[in-house]
């Protein structure tokens, strides 16, 4: 098998990264934009020792689950890899991804529940992060999303997975910036002014917080003028901030943010609790699907009478806050100081008295205490937990661990470790937070 060779294949299944899998003479071939049951002609684009990559050049017999994407840019934008597959079947495939991870990585033989679908599959995304660049000749500002596996920006005027008002704000910035002599960022030369447009949108009240990420350490007059123009043009915009990030890095937000107009937060509601979301606050991008997760976790905790709860990797303590009324006490631990400060405001806003907040690394905090909790909630980043963190969680938990994960692979790895330590997995419940992508959120209930 060589690069540019062409073959007719049938797609057998979906990989954990959302590519179709076919086999040629026993070798695995990963095919982009392919759906299980597709019969297609492919061209080999890369050959490795154990697998190859390919692209579709002709669909001979389409899968019965293949549909026309509702976004005309789906094929060139890297955000919605699975939008050409009908939504119900997307959920089937995501369940298979979780099952495969549990079997091959975790060596865990437990049924995975059917995923809970997202309440919305359009306009569900309430955190938008658009990279910005500029064309060489016409100096036109580009803002959108990257093409798959590249840093080439697709200039997107309409994105159906985010609220329509966000498209309008981004287009306004794209057209208005040159009037104030603001340039787009050049990643190769590390030059230009505007690196990213970040928008937080409230699913509860439709308000927006707009943050302009700039390649500088201070605010210039031209950005002050642009901020005022955005704020004065859009009634939905609660505030406009500047984030300073002059480092040559793929990290979007720098450490410092300054509010130029209005307020530096928006309000969001989850269950019956009100939250304040800032420019760099971690909060789920799909609030209505997140609400299903919080409801599920709350129901699980309610099975214990008046329990004590540890809320680890807490962010702005969303789990701790949403379950506080059915617990004796909640201890929320988060190492990001800004998130804890926001959590303090939220506790006061909701009149909650039984949630303790600690700014600390979870492992270090647990090593510093002797207290045990009835239930521990673990909600780590994609990399999962360290073995040390899991050991400490076991040491400080009496009855059960509720593990919330956005990465089936690291979840499977960590569940395997917990099983080796004598735990039993009661259930694994997927939730579709990231429609039309291969990503899937999971909640595992672990009994000690």
Q: pLDDT tens digit string along 263-291?
A: 999 999 999 999 999 988 888 899 999 99
Q: pLDDT tens digit string along 163-203?
A: 999 999 999 999 999 999 999 999 999 999 999 999 999 99
Mean pLDDT, the chain, integer? 95
pLDDT at 83 (0 to 100): 96
* Fold of domain 6-66: OB fold (Dihydrolipoamide Acetyltransferase, E2P) (2.40.50)
CA distances, 81 to each of 32, 35, 41, 51, 75 (Å): 9, 11, 19, 21, 8
61 Cβ contact list (under 8 Å, min separation 6): 38, 39
Token digits for 321? 């806050």
For 176-326, list the strands marked E by DSSP. 194-201, 208-214, 237-244, 256-262, 265-270, 273-278, 308-312
pLDDT bucket at 152, cuts 50 / 70 / 90: confident
CA distances, 409 to each of 37, 97, 106, 289, 416 (Å): 25, 9, 8, 21, 11
pLDDT at 136 (0 to 100): 87
pLDDT bucket at 338, cuts 50 / 70 / 90: confident
Angle in degrees, 0-180, between the axes of helices 408-420 and 387-395, rounded to the nearest 10: 50
Token digits for 402? 């509720």
3-state secondary structure of 34: coil
Q: What is the layout of strands, in order, in the sheet containing 329-334? A: 355-359, 329-334, 308-312, 373-378, 397-405, 441-447, 424-431
Q: pLDDT tens digit string along 201-257?
A: 999 999 999 999 999 999 999 999 999 999 999 999 999 999 999 999 889 999 999
pLDDT at 76 (0 to 100): 86
| Neighbour tally for 24: CB within 10 Å | 16
pLDDT at 282 (0 to 100): 83
The catalytic site residues sit at 406
327 Cβ contact list (under 8 Å, min separation 6): 301, 306, 307, 308, 309, 354
pLDDT at 281 (0 to 100): 84
* Fold of domain 93-119+286-447: Rossmann fold (3.40.50)
CA distance 422 to 437: 34
Query: CA neighbours within 13 Å on the CB side: how many for 423?
Result: 28
Does the fold of domain 127-270 match that of domain 6-66?
yes
Per CATH, the number for 127-270 is 2.40.50.1070
Q: pLDDT tens digit string along 339-390?
A: 899 899 999 999 999 999 999 999 999 999 999 999 999 999 999 999 999 9
The structure's pTM equals 0.92
Domain ranges of the chain: 6-66, 93-119+286-447, 127-270
Span 328-348, mean pLDDT?
93
């Amino acid at each position: 098998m060589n690069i540019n060779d062409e073959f007719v294949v049938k797609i057998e299944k979906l990989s954990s990264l959302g590519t179709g899998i076919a086999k040629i003479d026993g070798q695995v071939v990963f095919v982009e934009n392919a759906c299980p049951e597709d019969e297609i002609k492919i061209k080999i684009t890369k050959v490795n020792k154990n697998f190859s990559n390919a692209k579709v050049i002709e669909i001979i017999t389409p899968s019965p689950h293949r549909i026309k994407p509702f976004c005309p840019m789906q094929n060139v934008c890297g955000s919605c890899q699975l939008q050409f597959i009908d939504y119900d079947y997307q959920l089937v495939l995501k369940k298979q991804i979780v099952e495969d991870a549990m079997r091959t990585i975790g060596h865990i033989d437990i049924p995975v529940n059917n995923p809970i679908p997202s309440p919305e599959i359009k306009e569900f995304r309430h955190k938008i992060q658009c990279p910005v660049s500029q064309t060489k000749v016409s100096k036109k500002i580009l803002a959108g999303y990257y093409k798959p596996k590249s840093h080439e920006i697709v200039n997107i005027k309409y994105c159906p997975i985010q609220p329509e008002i966000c498209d309008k704000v981004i287009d306004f910035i794209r057209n208005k910036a040159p009037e104030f002599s603001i340039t787009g960022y050049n990643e190769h030369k590390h030059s230009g002014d505007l690196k990213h447009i970040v928008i937080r949108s409230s699913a509860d009240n439709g308000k927006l917080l707009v943050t302009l990420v700039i390649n500088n350490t201070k605010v210039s007059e031209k950005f002050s003028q642009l901020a005022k123009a955005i704020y004065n043009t859009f009634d939905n915009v609660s505030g406009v901030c500047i984030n300073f990030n002059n480092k040559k890095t793929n990290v979007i937000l720098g450490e410092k943010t300054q509010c130029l107009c209005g307020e530096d937060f928006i309000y969001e509601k989850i269950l019956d609790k009100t939250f304040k979301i800032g420019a760099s606050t971690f909060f789920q991008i799909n609030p209505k699907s997140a609400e299903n997760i919080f409801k599920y976790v709350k129901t699980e905790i309610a099975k214990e009478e008046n329990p004590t709860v540890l809320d680890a990797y807490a962010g702005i303590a969303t789990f701790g806050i949403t379950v506080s009324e059915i617990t004796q006490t909640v201890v929320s631990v988060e190492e990001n100081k800004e998130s804890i400060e926001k959590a303090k405001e939220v506790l006061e806003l909701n009149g909650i008295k039984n949630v303790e907040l600690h700014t600390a690394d979870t492992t270090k905090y647990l090593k510093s205490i002797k207290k045990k909790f009835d239930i521990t909630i673990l909600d780590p980043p994609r990399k999962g937990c360290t073995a040390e963190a899991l050991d400490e969680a076991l040491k400080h938990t009496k009855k059960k661990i509720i593990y919330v994960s956005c990465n089936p692979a690291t979840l499977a790895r960590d569940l395997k470790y917990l099983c080796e330590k004598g735990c039993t997995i009661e259930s694994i419940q997927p939730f579709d937070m990231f429609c039309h992508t291969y990503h899937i959120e999971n909640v595992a209930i672990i009994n000690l």
